[in-house]
Copies of this chain bind each other. A is one copy, B any other.
């Protein structure tokens, strides 16, 4: 748990009382490979902090899996739009390997927001952080080549990138596995 506290402290320094209350709201979950932590159509009532492991967002596009995002250790993972709006998720969230996450649910988080200004701030900083993640994704989709987007992914997690099946990375980049092989070979 100290690792998590340190991580949150990057955003805002929590007092012992704030941390104890927050810690009591975090549920530690071990997730097995290929387990879905959220299904398409469900309401996402949590934000999870990834302590170990990696996740992918995908949805079925006419029978084919279309991958729209990867999340790695140290990231927050949530269908944040569903979390904020109460609308059903348009994506599945699946563990790509064994994972350890710390989840907080919406109601618990809201009562912490009410109770502590610092946790209200933590919520703002997480929202800002998730904003930057999705804004980078827009830019990446709109302005970058598949090769550049592959490099970005490598920069985010050079170790895990070798463990993700090639077809998943190709789906995310919107290219064929053959084109991905050529990009990888060119490096």
A interface vs B, CB < 8 Å? 68, 80-81, 84-85, 90, 113, 117, 120-121, 123-124, 127-128, 130-132, 134-139, 141-142
Which residues of the other chain, B, contact A131 by a CB distance below 8 angstroms? 80-81, 84, 127, 130-131, 134
Which residues of the other chain, B, contact A137 by a CB distance below 8 angstroms? 138
Which residues of the other chain, B, contact A80 by a CB distance below 8 angstroms? 131, 135
The dominant DSSP class at the A interface is helix
Most chain B beta-carbon neighbours within 10 Å: one of A68, A117, A136: A117
| Smallest Cβ-Cβ distance to A84: which chain B residue | B128
| Chain B min CB distance to A133 (Å) | 9
